A and B are shown apart, each in its own frame.
Chain A
Amino acid sequence: NAGVTQTPKFQVLKTGQSMTLQCAQDMNHNSMYWYRQDPGMGLRLIYYSASEGTTDKGEVPNGYNVSRLNKREFSLRLESAAPSQTSVYFCASSEPGQGAGEAFFGQGTRLTVV
C-alpha cells in the first residue's frame, strides 16, 4: 500500500520556468491538499480539493494552479517560478468525517528556484 506518492522528490528551476508537481493516492480518499513548508512557518495550505471535480484556494494560492485529474490524482503547477516559491511541497489526502479526518502525507518535493 503506497499511500500518497509525490514526484519529483527534488527539483531545481530557473526563475520563470514552469513545472508540475504530481501527487497520487491509493486510499480512495475524497479530499486532497497541497501545502508548502518553509522554515519557522509550519505548513501553509496552497490549494485543496474536497472531492473530484472541485478545487479551492487555501492561504497562499498566488503563483500556483491545480488540477484534480481524477479521484486519485491532484497536481500542482507553477506557471512562472519565482525564488519566493523555493520551499518544500507536501501533498496530502484524507477522508473527512466529523470534521477533518486523519491526513496522509507524501514524502515531499524539495524545490529550489534560482
Chain B
Amino acid sequence: SQQGEEDPQALSIQEGENATMNCSYKTSINNLQWYRQNSGRGLVHLILIRSNEREKHSGRLRVTLDTSKKSSSLLITASRAADTASYFCATSQRGSTLGRLYFGRGTQLTVWP
C-alpha cells in the first residue's frame, strides 16, 4: 500500500507549546493533505499542499513539503487543549485520475491544559 506514514505515533504536550508531526511517503504525488479526527468523529480536512509548493499556512497551522525527501510536516503553533485529536496525512498519487487518497496511520496528539 502506498500510504503515508506519520511520525510520531503519539505526541503529548502542554498548552501553549508547538506540536510537530511528520509524514513520509513512497511515491510521486500530486498533493498531500492533512486531516484531523476528534475521538468518535469523522475526519475533517485541514490543509492541502500541492507538489509544486513548499510551505503553506492556515491560521495556527504550517505545513511544509519536501518532495526530494518525500516528506511533509504539520506544525501547530500555540497548541490548545481543543487541538487534542488524531492527525492523518493523505497523499494523492501522481498519475491517479480517480481522486484516490492514501492515508497514514495517524499521530495521536494530546494537549494538556
Would B104 and A103 count as touching, CB distance under 8 A? no
Would A48 and B100 count as touching, CB distance under 8 A? yes
- Chain A interface residue count, CB cutoff 8 Å, equals 32
Interface size class of B (residues with CB under 8 A): 20 to 34
Q: Which residues of A contact B101 (CB under 8 A)?
A: 33, 94, 100, 103
Shortest 3 CB-CB contacts between residues of A and residues of B: A99-B30, A96-B99, A100-B92
Within 8 A of A (CB), among B56-98: 88, 90, 92-94, 96-98
In the assembled complex, how far is the CB of residue A94 from the closest CB belonging to chain B, in whole angstroms? 5
Would A98 and B31 count as touching, CB distance under 8 A? yes
* Contact string against B for A residues 21-64, beta-carbon threshold 8 Å, 1 for contact and 0 otherwise: 00000000011010100001111110010100000101100000
**Which residues of A does B touch, CB under 8 Å?**
4, 30-31, 33, 35, 40-45, 48, 50, 56, 58-59, 90, 92, 94-96, 98-108
Cα-based distance from A58 to B93 in the complex (angstroms): 14
**Which residues of B does A touch, CB under 8 Å?**
1, 3, 29-31, 33, 35, 40-45, 48, 50, 88, 90, 92-94, 96-101, 103-106
Would A99 and B92 count as touching, CB distance under 8 A? yes
In the assembled complex, how far is the CB of residue B74 from the closest CB belonging to chain A, in whole angstroms? 16
Would A103 and B88 count as touching, CB distance under 8 A? no
Which one of B96, B104, B106 lies within 8 Å of A100 (CB-CB)? B96
Would A103 and B94 count as touching, CB distance under 8 A? no
In the assembled complex, how far is the CB of residue A109 from the closest CB belonging to chain B, in whole angstroms? 10
Q: Which residues of B contact A58 (CB under 8 A)?
A: 100
Q: Which residues of B contact A99 (CB under 8 A)?
A: 29-31, 50, 92-94, 96, 99
A selection of 10 A-B contacts at a CB cut-off of 8 Å is A33-B101, A48-B98, A50-B97, A56-B98, A95-B99, A96-B98, A100-B90, A103-B43, A105-B43, A108-B42
Closest A-chain residue to B103, C-beta based?
A43
Which of B1, B35, B42, B50 is most buried by chain A, counting CB atoms within 10 A of its CB? B42
